[in-house]
Amino acid sequence: MMQHRKMEADVKSQEETLEEWCRTLLQAFELEGVEVDVDEVLSLAGVAAHSVVRPAAPLTTFIAGFAAGMVAGSGQASDSVSMHAAMDLARKLSKEYPEPGIGAE
């Protein structure tokens, strides 16, 4: 029983792993000062996956992130403002995306 408890303590939760992975990526890209709301990104991915098609999730989050980076990098808005605006737009577009077969002739 003691061995089982030790193994449980050694296993990281999914949330801990994602937070650690996020920090690793930010450090590798020299973006240590950037705050990323992992739950918000995952939420956007979920909306895209369910509103469009499953593979839209990574594509949507990548493009939203790229757009946010372009806006922030050009000085048009802060990191936080550009990320929220990009995710809000991507979420809105995902939810409005027509269901397959609707509007098709």
Q: Give pTM, 2 decimals.
A: 0.80
- Rounded to whole angstroms, the Cα distance separating 60 from 43 reads 11
User: What Rg value do the Cα atoms of the chain yield, rounded?
Assistant: 18
* Predicted local confidence at residue 13, as pLDDT: 94
Write down the residue that tokens 């930010």 correspond to.
Answer: 26
Please check the confidence at residue 2 and state whether its pLDDT lies above 60. no
Q: Which two tokens stand for residue 80?
A: 């936080």
Angle between helices 14-28 and 38-51 (to 10 degrees): 100
- Rounded to whole angstroms, the Cα distance separating 10 from 4 reads 10
25-44 as b/e: b if 16+ CB within 10 A: eeeeeeeeeeebeeeebeeb
pLDDT, tens digit (0-9, with 9 covering 90-100), for 48-105: 999 999 999 999 999 999 999 999 999 999 999 999 999 999 999 999 999 766 654 4
- pLDDT category at 24 given cuts 50, 70, 90 is very high
